[in-house]
Amino acid sequence: MSQVEREPQGLVRAISLFQATTINMSQMVGIGPFITIPLILTAMGGPQAIFGWIAGALLAMMDGLVWSELGAAMPGEGGTYVYLREAFQYRSGKLMPFLFVWSTLIATPLIMSTGMIGMANYLGYFWPGMTGLDTKLVAVAITIITVALLYRRINSVGRITSILWGGMILTVVIVVVAALTHFHAHQAFSFPAGAFKASKFFMGLGAGMLISIYDYMGYYTTCYMGDEMKNPGRTIPRSVIISILSVAAIDLIMNIGMIGVVPWKVAMKSTSIGTLFMQDVWGRPGAILITLLILWTAFASVYTGLLGASRLPFNASRDGLFFKSFGKLHPKHNFPHIALLVMGLVTAICCFLNLSTIINALMAVSIVVQFIGQVVALTVLRRRQPGMKRPFRQWLYPLPSLLALVGWIYVFYSSGWPAIELAIGWTVLGIIVFLIWAKREKQWPFGPTVIREVYLDNSEAM
C-alpha cells in the first residue's frame, strides 16, 4: 500500500478533488454575500464597492498561492498550524503554532457564529415577530444540528457536502438569472459625486477589502484536512485555486446584479438583501424561494467550516501542544469527535454576540498570526528546507507573497483601532500563556530547541 492510500493516525484519505472544491466553495459562498453587501456599500459609500470586491478577490488569489504551496508540500491535519510549526521551530520553538491555535480559539467560532446568526436573521422573514433573544436561540439550535450532522465518518461527510454544494449552486444560478433579466446598468453604476477622490476612495477601499475578504474566507478549508485528501499534492492546490476563481466570479456577478435591481441607497439599509432583491423581482413567491435557498447555502458554509476547524485542535493535541483529549478519534468512525464537540460548543456561545460588531475583530485577530505568519513561513521553508518535495510551487515567487503581505497589512490597518487593540491584546495574552505552558513542559525558551523536519523527506507522500 502506498503512502497516499495509507491512513495516517487513523484518518482516511477519502476526499476527491471535486469534493474538496465543493468543501471550499460551500464555505466561501455561504451567508457572506447575503449579509455583507449593505456593509461594503456603506463602507465605500456607493457602487464603487465593486472595486472592494475585486481587490478582495485579488488578495485571496495571492494568498491562495501561499496556501497552495504550503498545503501541497505539507498535507497534514491542521493547515496553518503545521506550516508555522515547521517554519518557526528553528528560532522560537512552538511559539508560533501555539499562538495560531490560541487565535483560532476565538476567531473560528466567531466566524462560524456569523453564519449561524445570519441564518437566524433570514428566518425572521418567516417569523416576523422574532425577538433578539429568539434569534440567538435559533442560531444555537442551528449549531447543534450542524454538529450532529458532522458527527459521522468522513466518507459520509463528503457526500453530504456535495449535496449541500448542489443547493448552493442552485441558489447562485437563480440569483444570477433574476439579476440579468431585471438588470439596470445605470442603477448599478450610479456613482455618487466624489466617489473616486483619492483620499476618500482609498480609505474606503481598505474597509471594503476587509469585508470582501471575509466573504472569500474558506478557500483554504481543505488545507486543514490534508490527511483526508486523495492525492493531496495535486488536490489541495487545485481545490484552492479553482474555488477562488469560481467564487470570485459568482460574488462579483451577484453583487453587481443585486444593486442593478435594488437601488444601492436602499440596499445599504437592508438586513436581508437577498430576500429584498427577490421580492422586487419575483414577488413574495420568489422571496420565499430565495430565502430558503440562502438558508441552505449558509448551512453548507457553516457545515464545511466547522468540519475543517475541528481538525486544528486535534492536530495540535497530537503534537503535544494542546489538551490530550482533543487528539482522540471516535472509536468507530475515526474522526476527531472531542475537538468537534468543543468547537461546536464555543460556536454556540458566540451566537449570543452582536453580528454587526465582530467581522473587523475576526479579521484583525486572524491576520496577525495566521495570514502574515504564513507568508513568512513560505519564505523561511524555502531557505531552511530547500530539499522538501513541493508538488506545487508558487507562481512568480516571491511576487504573490509580497502582494499578499502588503494586502494583509493594509486590511489590518483598515480594521480600526478597537479591532487592532483586540488582536494585539489577544496575541500578547497568548504569549504569556505560552510561556507558562513552556515552563511547565520544559519547552523553548525554558528547554532545548527540538528540530523535527517532518516533511523534509516526503517523496512518497506526494
Walk along the chain (462 residues) and give the pLDDT tens digit of each residue.
Answer: 333 334 444 567 888 999 999 889 877 887 778 888 988 999 899 999 999 999 999 999 999 999 999 999 999 877 898 999 999 999 999 999 999 988 887 888 888 888 898 899 899 889 888 888 999 999 999 999 999 988 876 666 667 777 877 888 888 899 999 998 999 999 999 999 989 998 889 888 988 998 899 889 889 989 988 888 999 999 999 999 999 999 999 889 988 999 999 999 999 988 788 999 999 999 999 999 999 988 988 887 788 778 777 777 787 788 777 777 788 888 887 778 888 898 899 899 988 887 666 788 888 989 989 999 999 999 999 999 999 999 999 999 999 999 999 999 999 998 888 889 989 999 999 999 899 989 988 999 999 988 999 898 654 444
DSSP state of 370: I
pLDDT the model gives residue 259: 93
Neighbours of 330 (CB within 10 A): 15
Between CA 87 and CA 384 the distance in angstroms is 8
Kindly list the domain boundaries of the chain, sorted by start residue: 8-441
**What pTM does this model have?**
0.85
- Long-range own/partner contacts, residues 37-42 (CB < 8 A, 24 or more apart): 37/255, 37/258, 37/259, 37/267, 37/270, 37/273, 38/267, 38/268, 38/269, 38/270, 38/271, 38/273, 39/211, 39/359, 40/208, 40/211, 40/212, 41/259, 41/264, 41/267, 41/268, 42/268
Position 303 scores a pLDDT of 82
**Rounded to whole angstroms, how far apart are CA atoms 102 and 104?**
5
**Residue 16 grid cell:** 476527491
Asked whether the CA dihedral 48, 50, 53, 56 is positive or negative, the reply is negative
Query: Is the CATH code 1.20.1740.10 the one for domain 8-441?
Result: yes
CB contact at 8 A, 424 and 361: no
Distance CA 78, CA 97 (A): 10
Residue 364 belongs to what H/E stretch? helix 359-366
- Under 8 Å CB-to-CB from 412, ≥6 apart: which residues? 363, 364, 367, 368, 372, 420, 423
Instruction: Count CB-CB contacts under 10 A for residue 460.
Output: 10
Q: Residue 326 has what pLDDT?
A: 81
Q: Would you state the pLDDT for residue 10?
A: 59
